[in-house]
Amino acid sequence: MKLLVFGRTGQVAHVLQALAAADAGLHVTALGRDQADLTDPETCMARIATTDADAVINAAAYTDVDGAERDEATATRVNGDTPGAMARAAAARGLPFLHLSTDYVFDGSGTTAFAPDATTAPLNAYGRSKRAGELAIAAAGGQALILRTSWVFSSHGRNFVKTMLRLSDTRSALWVVDDQIGGPTAADDIAKTLITLAQALIAGHPGGIYHYAGAPAVSWAGFARETFRIAGRAVDVTGITTADYPTPARRPLNSRLDCAALQADFAITQPDWKAGLARVIDRLEGQA
């Protein structure tokens, strides 16, 4: 299977390339910003127009949630306009198109996990930009699958786990938000799921919107405590409220995602984020 992947240095794109390096039957062409700038939809369309890939995956995005509040136009171009253009180009070639989205398209109300067909109501510019991408992909009319996920972490790039471990090098106590609840999701689990989904689309599955997030649900504070426990670091974590830690962009309190449809349609179960966390910490310790 040949995959054209937009994104080269991001967490999921990094794993996709590593998986291809270990599997002779999987070929990944990963495009970085120098080859496909996501602020230039036409260039991205041109890459799809000339590819010999069997499917296209967009694993790149404008991910600076607070930065999007300052520059929503750029966030919307990268997360909204360009994915729509990619989807149109893929549809013109008859190629399956897979796209990563986010729990931030929801308002975070309540305590029930959001189903794929739940009403969207983003709280911030980043969420609005990602929802714009979802709508543009749907309007393209091709064979496309949108995979919403949440709280991505890995041993590569910037993420919560690496931040917590870095802070623990110099601090024995931390205050972490405890009223935002979600499902941490390891990038390697997401990458493997994307490969399975790409195979299904190549085989004829029509696509749609699906959710994929780690279980069980946990707060950021709980996620931090487990990180330190697995890493064997003595750090006291005190839970605080979102109001105690104001940020430019509003964060959803409830980021739970209902992943039942993914299991029903593809036999893909929710991953155990604690197992994924143990793998990540083991890799990080091996790099030290």
Residue range 178-218, pLDDT digits in tens: 999 999 999 999 999 999 999 999 999 999 999 999 999 99
pLDDT of residue 83: 98
With H, G, I as helix, E, B as strand and everything else as coil, classify residue 98. strand
Mean pLDDT of 255-275: 97
pLDDT of residue 288: 57
Which residues neighbour 117 within 8 Å (Cβ) at sequence distance 6 or greater? 209
Burial class (CB in 10 A: 0-12, 13-18, 19+), 105: buried
- Contact call for residues 243 and 175 (beta carbons, < 8 A): no
**Residue 174 placed within a domain:** no
Hunting for tokens 């024995």 — which residue is that?
Answer: 172
**Residue 284 placed within a domain:** no
Mean pLDDT of 54-68: 97
Looking up residue 150, the CATH number of its domain turns out to be 3.40.50.720
**Residue 277 placed within a domain:** no
**Residue 152 placed within a domain:** yes
Q: How far, CA to CA in Å, does 68 sit from each of 63, 106, 130?
A: 8, 16, 11
**Residue 178 placed within a domain:** no
Hunting for tokens 């300052």 — which residue is that?
Answer: 70
What does the alpha-carbon distance between residue 225 and residue 237 come to, in Å, rounded to a whole number?
Answer: 6
Beta strands 55-58 and 152-153, pairing class: unpaired
Residue 285 has pLDDT above 90, yes or no: no
Where in the sequence numbering do the catalytic residues fall? 126
How many domains does one find in the chain?
1
Residue 223 has pLDDT above 80, yes or no: yes
What does the alpha-carbon distance between residue 189 and residue 186 come to, in Å, rounded to a whole number?
Answer: 5
**Is this structure's pTM higher than 0.85?**
yes
Q: Which two tokens stand for residue 134?
A: 């979802």
**Residue 15 placed within a domain:** yes
Question: Which residue type occupies 70?
Answer: R
* Domain boundaries, position 80: 2-158+184-213
**Residue 231 placed within a domain:** no
Dihedral pair phi/psi, residue 227, rounded to 5°? -60, -45
pLDDT of residue 287: 74
Residue range 1-38, pLDDT digits in tens: 999 999 999 999 999 999 999 998 999 999 999 999 99
Residue range 126-148, pLDDT digits in tens: 999 999 999 999 999 999 999 99
Dihedral pair phi/psi, residue 30, rounded to 5°? -105, 125
**Residue 143 placed within a domain:** yes
